[in-house]
Structure 1
Amino acid sequence: MDIDTEAAGPERAGTVEWTVVESAIGPLLLAATGRGLVQVGFHADPARRERMLDRLAGQLGAEPVECASGRLAEAVRRLDRYFAGERDALDLPLDWTLTTGFHRQVLRELATGVPYGTVVGYGELARRVGQPGAAQAVGAAMGANPLPLVVPCHRVVESDGGLGGFGGGLETKRQLLALEGVLPAPLF
């Protein structure tokens, strides 16, 4: 992941482009600024997509426009490769505007320190960012992750082996972990 793409504040000078792509886990909303991918949204049916875009407009201070320049073409190609099983397919430029502070610190560690096909516990991730007692706060950071899948919060599990939560739903988390070889694929 290109974690060096920084954002000092909301995107105001440029545009936010979006598209919806079909994937093995359902429709995904992708949004990008000139800095990089800024949001990934699960289950992007038309009603949910509109809510996500309204919220994104408020957060970034720019009205999202449907993909006009091809800014998202590489992200779409890489998602296709990811769902085909390619390990490093999601190494994309990221815009971290929608996350700050502790959440950004945790998500950056997740992006760089938990590779494809591995998992980490909430407590271990808290320890890695220097806050060993902050497992619940790590869970909150996962829930607020604006870039799920690309910043792989599906790879964060409970210390007892449970899946934990997931904004895209536990079945989606199971599917992603099975794709990466962490869990066995369902029999039916």
Structure 2
Amino acid sequence: MDAIQRFEGGFLLTNAYLLSTPGGGHVLIDAPADTVQWLQHAKIKPLALLLTHQHFDHVMDAAAVSAMGVPIYSWSGYSKELTAEEIVKQWGMPMTVEPYTVDHELAGETTLEIEGLSLELAHVPGHSPDSVTFHDKERGILVSGDTLFNGSTGRGDLPGGSLELLCRGIVEKIYTLPGETRVYPGHGPDTTVATEKRSNAVVQG
């Protein structure tokens, strides 16, 4: 069984990930459009849906996943401000996120365990106020959402964002991880902490 599986969904090509658990189950991280179709095809019902943040492209299928009986974990509760729907509509892209309920708010937490899968949490705001990374220390995996990308970072000019805050969080909370840690971002291919510290175009360690 692969430790991590990736799905790319929606018009922004947003990544969702399935992490396997020691008990044989799966934890889903993020839910872009068509995630439920992917899960149904794979015949997988996740034990939980973890959100790296709530921007619309990462939560388009969150309500549908919740309807499968899957609890949602997020740093903050649901809000239209966090999904950034109104901003996107101003850009001429009419879309609506079906509202969902966050069953477990993670604000203030530093660890999370689900069926033997232990994850370290780091709040790294700057792209979005509720951005959080999930670190599987045992397997050397970090799901970074839109904080750190392969060769770049998430944008810091959206409401509630700050590129300065984001870069500081990356240096303090991601670049301090072992260099071989493999980083799985919200968009694009995976990378490693060492690679980004050495050659990231926005923030180097």
Shorter-chain TM-score above 0.5: no
Higher helix proportion (structure 1 or 2): 1
Normalization by structure 1: what TM-score? 0.30
Higher strand proportion (structure 1 or 2): 2
Normalization by structure 2: what TM-score? 0.28
